[in-house]
Copies of this chain bind each other. A is one copy, B any other.
């Protein structure tokens, strides 16, 4: 039967001050009115019933996950985050025990996809193919720009319409390389969405990452911190790329917001009361009532929450992590 694994363990540092340890990005309504994890669940519902969805999160976030997803039956709460390989290995074992014939989609909880219909078609076709073949499918997103922050996967021989053998993985290339990849037409973003049968995933873990596979049954904190890409995808010979020809945005930081909201005549994107004088190309995120007033500024991200305010140059939105890392040192 079809299952889904939704990975929701991120701490969302780059969305400070909206995201906090207990309320990270995936549990926030950042782009739509539903939280990102609610959107992830809604997108999968045409393919998988809620009763066969497994959310892997951490102990701090589990209560909020339960609140946001009433009716969810399977929550795995990691005692500590160990990157994606242990998290996925645990979920695969959990599902295989309940349904050895299972086929599953493994997806992040914190990416935004507008075209949910095309998404369901692609993932649906992948689930079907993964039910017949001993393969590990990764959804390769058609790149819309030479992003240097993503991993890429090169497609090889076509297997079926919309599916190719994977030729090689490349982690975060430099800009020149990324441009070549985009121009070549046979490189796609490795967006962290996987489809496989419980049997194929079990075999891959046992062969390429036996330490992780066995480790998750014991002391979770002692398991290697490793991504599923490094642990199995880059090593396995049976990896297939599905054509992810839908929009996809990992909403990596505050600057991503403006890709999803209407701008005013001055290029500003505002949520909540805002009044700007000589203000252009800013992103303004308030709560419902608090007013943000600006004079003579451009290209800023301004975020108000009840206990903290962020003012950040849009181009430096990634660096919000650095600020968050300093908070505990300063007792803030």
Contact = CB atoms under 8 A, between A and B. Distances in A.
A316 interface: yes
Given A275-B332, A323-B275, A313 B295 contact: yes
B316 A278 contact: yes
Interface string A299-332: 0101010011111110111011011001100101
A213 B277 CA distance: 40
A222 interface: no
Contact of A300 (B275, B293, B310, B311): B311
B323 A295 contact: yes
B294 A310 contact: yes
Mostly, the A contact residues are mixed
A298 to B, nearest CB: 9
Given A289-B307, A291-B17, A307-B291, A296 B315 contact: yes
Nearest to A318: B295
Q: How many copies does the complex hold?
A: 2
A296, A302, A315, A330, most chain B CB atoms within 10 A: A296
B295 A309 contact: no
B308 A322 contact: no
Contact of A323 (B277, B309, B322, B332): B277
A309 to B, nearest CB: 5
A327 to B, nearest CB: 7
A260 interface: no
A312 B289 contact: no
A311 B308 contact: no
